[in-house]
Amino acid sequence: NAGVMQNPRHLVRRRGQEARLRCSPMKGHSHVYWYRQLPEEGLKFMVYLQKENIIDESGMPKERFSAEFPKEGPSILRIQQVVRGDSAAYFCASSPPPGLAETQYFGPGTRLLVL
């Protein structure tokens, strides 16, 4: 049973470019969470999605950031017009529907570096 998959593992972008981060949840998991970890800090919640539905985006910046989890395919975190402050590790986690099991399992993360 494959774990949570994220790609790319490392991404380098120049200021002003777009970054697309992908997350495939564990088999049987229908809920996806995105977290950001700045250097030497803990993880901060960004957004929580179900298939075709954003449940909670309270941690996501209002501008330049968007997330989706389509009916088919991986969840995508999109950052437009990246700036140096976007450099961080972005982690995706997945879980079964809450109420069945609340534990979130994490992917290996995508390290974004903005030059």
Partner 1 sequence: AQTVTQSQPEMSVQEAETVTLSCTYDTSENNYYLFWYKQPPSRQMILVIRQEAYKQQNATENRFSVNFQKAAKSFSLKISDSQLGDTAMYFCAFMNGPGMSSSYKLIFGSGTRLLVRP
CB of 48 to partner 1, least distance (A): 5
| DSSP, res 37 | E
Does the footprint of partner 1 cover residue 99 (CB under 8 A)? yes
Q: How many Å apart are CA 21 and CA 11, to the nearest integer?
A: 9
CB of 74 to partner 1, least distance (A): 18
Does the footprint of partner 1 cover residue 69 (CB under 8 A)? no
Q: Which residues pair with 37 in a beta bridge?
A: 43, 89
Q: If binding means CB under 8 A, how many residues of this protein chain bind partner 1?
A: 27
Q: How many Å apart are CA 75 and CA 64, to the nearest integer?
A: 17
And the tokens for 55? 């449940």
Could you list the residues that contact partner 1 (CB under 8 A)? 31, 33, 35, 41-45, 48, 55-56, 58-59, 89, 91, 93, 95, 98-99, 102-106, 108-109, 111
